[in-house]
Amino acid sequence: MTDTSSVFVVTGGAGGLGGATARLLAQGGAAVVVTDLAEVDERELRARLGESVTYVRGDVCSEADMTAVLDHAADRGAIRGLVHCPGRGFPRRIVDRDGAPFPLEQFETAVRLNLVGTFNALRLTAARMATNAADDGERGAIVLTASVAAWDGQVGQVAYAAAKSGVVGMTLCAARDLADLGIRVNTIAPGIFDTPLLARFSDEVREGLGASVTFPKRLGDPAEYAAMADQLLRNRYMNGEVVRLDGAIRMAAR
């Protein structure tokens, strides 16, 4: 994979883990297409992430939006890599203190963003990659993002844990499904990373979260996620795997 002729798509790239990944890929000389739901000033994004970055706003759950993102990317060259990052929690207990059950629409919203959006990006990108010329048999590589909550879901994380375990569950199946096309699929399951997702917590809470990690006793650095994503894109023997990137943390029930 020569970086100068490759295009990488980073979904959720206005955020912490996606942004760090887009920056690393752009540093390698690749054309990088960032998409996100956020209103982003492309010039500011380029200054932050690299001159080879372009931005297309879109919702990863929308077929039309993702198609527009991929059309834009295909105009820049062969799409060789996707790193898919959008996702967030919808914290709530199954039965709340007042006895009310978890609203079904909220559960569906969580599954839609974290799981359906992932599959939408996966399927549409894979169809584009399938048209690439094979490079030593390979046409593309895809990295999805789950969470350690897929195994260690905490109290209040039921919707997020269910959706993220769906991402874990689709990884090997997707790798098998796309093998004949020469497309690899791997997933990163992050522990606790220092991104805007955690910005709602005070410094004290974030320090406490860092101290709960086995080793090293700190929050993950988005650059560490980016380095793993980059490796999963490039290492041609890596396929169908879910990698916990978490400092050996095992989340307690609460």
Ligand X SMILES: NC(=O)c1ccc[n+]([C@@H]2O[C@H](COP(=O)([O-])OP(=O)(O)OC[C@H]3O[C@@H](n4cnc5c(N)ncnc54)[C@H](O)[C@@H]3O)[C@@H](O)[C@H]2O)c1
What does each C-alpha distance from 47 to 26, 42, 52, 77, 150 come to in angstroms?
11, 9, 10, 22, 35
The answer to whether residue 193 forms part of the interface with ligand X (CB under 6 A) is: yes
Encoded one letter per residue, x for contact with ligand X by CB under 6 A and - for no contact, window 66-85 reads: -------------------x
Q: Smaller CB distance to ligand X: residue 23 or 139?
A: 23
133: tokens are 């010329």
Nearest to 171 by CA among 122, 225, 116: 122
**Footprint of ligand X on 104-133 (CB under 6 A):** 113, 117
Q: Smaller CB distance to ligand X: residue 45 or 141?
A: 45
Q: Smaller CB distance to ligand X: residue 84 or 128?
A: 84
The answer to whether 160 is a known catalytic residue is yes
Rg of the Cα atoms in the chain? 18
Residue environment code for 161-178, b if the CB has 16+ CB neighbours within 10 A, otherwise e: bbbbbbbbebbbebbeeb
113: tokens are 């963003």
The answer to whether residue 45 forms part of the interface with ligand X (CB under 6 A) is: no
Encoded one letter per residue, x for contact with ligand X by CB under 6 A and - for no contact, window 142-181 reads: ---x-x----------------------------------
Q: Smaller CB distance to ligand X: residue 1 or 66?
A: 66
* Alpha carbons 59 and 11: distance in angstroms, whole number: 9
The single residue among 81, 87, 140, 153 that binds ligand X, judged by CB under 6 A, is 87
CB of residue 10 to ligand X, shortest distance in Å: 10
The single residue among 32, 192, 233, 243 that binds ligand X, judged by CB under 6 A, is 192
The single residue among 129, 190, 233, 247 that binds ligand X, judged by CB under 6 A, is 190
Q: How does DSSP assign 82-131, residue by residue?
A: EEE-------B-SB-TTSPBPPHHHHHHHHIIIIIHHHHHHHHHHHHHTT
Which amino acids are annotated catalytic? 160
